[in-house]
């Protein structure tokens, strides 16, 4: 079992380019697992955690409804945004500047083979990070992601999640609003859930801007502990 996770900071990167890069790493891991099984070898698989910030983009998961995108192609162009149908779970979401997007590409055979546990630990990583900023974040029953004020009329989502897994290898991940322009969420029904608001860390703390690097470090600290991983930086 290889518990080392290579952390890679991609900076600001186009969504499609990043998706292609994820697919490349994902496929390499799958191919190695298939080879190990066929040839009865035991070459260790690698694990990755990609951090990235995307230009304005809307993505629709394989179980999503395109009607949850509320604007036309022309309006997308006017807002300098793009739209992709992709192969993760979940419905529609938005990525953009001021948002920390994390893509763990893990071989769960190196950790535990339980997708439910995987999602809950990703949520816990975010919940513990937000607690360090004085926020009581939590799960909302039946709705993946991290929320504030669950069970009240003021419930609002601060972190969306959607993953894909094959042969226990994961891709896609989470998007945490840190300094996000929430106006872009007005163009969709976020995650296909009507009547629920979204929020961002800077708004919750009443600040113009939060240090994104600091948030990433705190996320990694909790990820490392929860997954009992060994981080390597490249």
With cut-offs at 50, 70 and 90, classify the pLDDT of residue 195. Answer: low
Rounded-to-integer distance, Cα 150 and Cα 142, Å:
12
CA atoms within 13 A on the CB side of 171: 19
Q: Annotated binding residue at 133? A: no
- Model confidence over 11-64: pLDDT tens digits? 999 999 999 999 999 999 999 999 999 999 999 999 999 999 999 999 988 878
**Is position 93 annotated in a ligand binding site?**
yes
* Catalytically annotated residue among 188, 191, 198, 210: 191
On whether 174 is known to bind a ligand per the annotation, the reply is yes
Task: Output the 3-class SS for 63-75.
Answer: CCCHHHECCCHHH
- Nearest Cα to 176, choosing from 208, 223, 111, 130? 130
110-123 average pLDDT score = 97
Check if the beta carbon of residue 54 is closer than 8 Å to that of residue 176: no
Q: Return mean pLDDT, the chain.
A: 93
Question: Which is more confident, 77 or 205?
Answer: 205
Does residue 130 carry a pLDDT above 70?
yes
CATH number at residue 91: 3.30.930.10
pLDDT value of residue 92: 85
Q: Is 90 annotated as a binding residue?
A: yes
**Structural domain total, the chain:** 1
183 marked as binding residue: no
DSSP-derived pairing of the beta strands 99-105 and 47-53: antiparallel
Domain hosting residue 198, numbered range:
4-233
**Helix residue ranges, H only, the chain:** 15-39, 73-78, 115-131, 201-204, 212-227
Confidence at residue 206, expressed as pLDDT on a 0 to 100 scale: 97
- Asked about 191 being catalytic, the answer comes back as yes
pTM of the predicted protein model: 0.94
**pLDDT tens for residues 6-22?**
999 999 999 999 999 99
pLDDT at 144: 87
Q: Are 192 and 64 in contact (CB under 8 A)?
A: yes
Say what the pLDDT of residue 63 is: 76
What digits encode the pLDDT tens for the residues 202-216?
999 999 999 999 999
195 sits in the region (left: phi over 0; alpha: psi -120 to 50; else beta) called left
**Spatial distance between the Cα atoms of 227 and 80, rounded to a whole number of angstroms:** 37
| Model confidence band, residue 191 (pLDDT cutoffs 50, 70, 90) | low
Checking if the pLDDT of 193 tops 70, the result is: no
The whole-angstrom separation of Cα 214 and Cα 10 is 16
Residue 128 is predicted with a pLDDT of 98
Q: Which residue carries 């395109």 as its tokens?
A: 66
């Amino acid at each position: 079992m290889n518990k080392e996770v290579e952390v890679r900071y991609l900076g600001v990167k186009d969504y499609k380019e990043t998706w292609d890069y994820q697919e490349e790493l994902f496929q390499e891991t799958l191919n190695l697992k298939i080879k190990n099984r066929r040839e009865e070898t035991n070459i260790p698989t690698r694990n990755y955690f990609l951090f990235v910030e995307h230009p304005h983009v809307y993505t629709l998961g394989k179980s999503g409804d395109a009607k949850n995108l509320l604007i036309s192609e022309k309006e997308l162009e006017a807002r300098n945004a793009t739209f992709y149908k992709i192969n993760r779970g979940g419905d529609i979401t938005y990525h953009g500047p001021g948002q920390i997007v994390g893509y763990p590409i893990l071989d769960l055979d190196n950790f535990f083979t339980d997708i439910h546990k995987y999602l809950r630990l990703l949520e816990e990583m975010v919940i513990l990070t937000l607690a360090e900023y004085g926020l009581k974040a939590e799960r909302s029953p039946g709705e993946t992601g991290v929320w504030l004020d669950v069970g009240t009329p003021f419930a609002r989502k601060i972190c969306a999640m959607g993953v894909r897994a094959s042969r226990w290898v994961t891709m896609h991940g989470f998007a945490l609003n840190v300094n996000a322009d929430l106006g872009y969420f007005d163009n969709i029904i976020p995650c296909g859930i009507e009547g629920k608001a979204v929020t961002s860390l800077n708004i919750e703390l009443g600040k113009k801007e939060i240090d994104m690097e600091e948030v990433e470090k705190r996320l990694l600290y909790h990820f490392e502990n929860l997954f009992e991983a060994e981080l390597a930086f490249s």
